[in-house]
Every structure is written in C-alpha cells, then in structure tokens.
Structure 1
C-alpha cells in the first residue's frame, strides 16, 4: 500500500468516462458500511465545478473574494477553498487532499479518478463503452470490475454488478476488520 497521511488505506477507482465509476461507488459504499467500514471519498473533477448555487450566501461570499468558505449546519459542513495559484490544469495533489479529511471519522479512502496517482486501483471496465481497458497504460491496477466475459488481465476480475463482491475485495486487500 502507498504511504499517505493518517495511515488510512486508499483504493482508487479508475475508468473511462461513462463506465460507471460513480454508479459502482454508490453501491459499494453501503456494502462497506454494512460490514462496519467508514469510507471517505475523494472525487476528481475535470472541469471548474461548484457545489454552491448562485444566489446562496456562501456562493456570493466566496465570489466576493473569500479564499475559504465553510458552510455549517447541525447536520453537515462543507469547505470550499479557492486555488487559483494552482489553476494550471494539473491534477490536484492527492496527499494534500487526503490530509484535509478527518482520520477519526474514516477507515479507508475511496478515490474516484486520479488515474495516474500512485495508489492501488480498481479499474471499472465495460466493453459496451467502446474503449480499451486502462490497465495496460496506467499504474497500480490491482483488479478490474467488469461485465466482460473474459479479459486478458493478470489479476482478479470482479463482477461490476456485484457491489458486495467488490466491497469484500476491498476489505481483504486493505486488511480491514469486517
């Protein structure tokens, strides 16, 4: 496993756009939780994005010049941090992002995207997307979650439509106590 802040295990999910990374994660997260795990998630966004809505106070204050905007309620909080100094098109530093998570509230970190990052990855591959597998080209693919009948991969093939099997693989790979 790759060393990282807080010694939380990290598993990446990598795939071509439209392959179902988010769909799989949305099903794997409850399967992990059912096994007593507390996953945190970091997702890479390829474009400028906003979680605020124009017209909301937090959006207006951030756009007025607040470099950091934390919105809090009794149920959740969200921190938006402007990073214009790093707006060079490069992928954000994954270790820095992981360090922003609260390690007391997580057992592992699931990372969506960050294909080139140095971490173990599960590739989501669906032949129907019409793209070749990524594992020959990207580092760290330890398993492929797929609906392909067969695949020339020297490692575990996981059924992409069975989130319980993917969750079990993650728990075993990370040596987490179920």
Structure 2
C-alpha cells in the first residue's frame, strides 16, 4: 500500500512539473462583466480586436456570440506574445486555437484570459468547441502570423 502511495505521489509531482515546463495554464474567471453592457463605451468588448501594448506584446479582445467570433481574423508578426480576453454575449461558447495552449470557455458574464506566444509564421485556425446551436459549425476564425517586417499587426 505504501509503495502505491509513493508511486502516486511521484506521478503527480512529475505531471505538475511537466505542466509548468511546457507552459500549461489553467483558464479561469479573470473578471466578470455584464453581458448586456458589452457594447457600452468603456467596455473593452465594445470594439473587440487587437491592441499593441509594446513591440511584440499584444492583447486580443474577442467577443463570442451566436455563430460568430468578433473579430474573426487577427494578424500579428511572428515572435509576438498575445494575451487573449474572451467573453460571450449570449450563450456558452468555447475557443480553441490550433497549435497553441489556448483552449477556454467563453461564458456570458465572465472574461477568460490566457497568454501564448506565436513564434512560427502561418495560419492558426480557431473554432468554437461548445455546441451553441444550429449554425455552430460556422463559428470559426483565424490568426495569421506573419514574417517580421510584413504588414503591421491588424484586425479585420
């Protein structure tokens, strides 16, 4: 019995250390927001999109709503670190960005936050991973990571 407890402890310690080593983050409630006030002046989700904080450091505000993400396309230079802030205006949604550690819920009244770095140029697709109704399959977008020196970071 004691051997099993020791092996279990070693396993849990190994998993924890491995998680931190590869940058796993546990998404949680970052802040609360009234979903009926997302469009009001002063709300970061009134005009969702990309904001440059410093060279190579960005914040992306994404609003999920029935069958679309706003914005649904973001362009950034390779080597950028982006903190994503996501909320839902209506029902439960989720967002998963391919080839990154971003996988979080978008719930009405809650702002979720996670950070990742985009070193490799290319297109990173994102989808809603929580069924949200009849046109759920149309809820997707993309992040285009461009070679340094290409067009400036932008949102469409």
TM range (shorter): under 0.3
Larger helix fraction of residues: 1
Normalised by the size of structure 2, how large is the TM-score?
A: 0.25
Normalised by the size of structure 1, how large is the TM-score?
A: 0.23
> RCO greater where, 1 or 2, for CA within 8 Å and sep 6 or more?
1
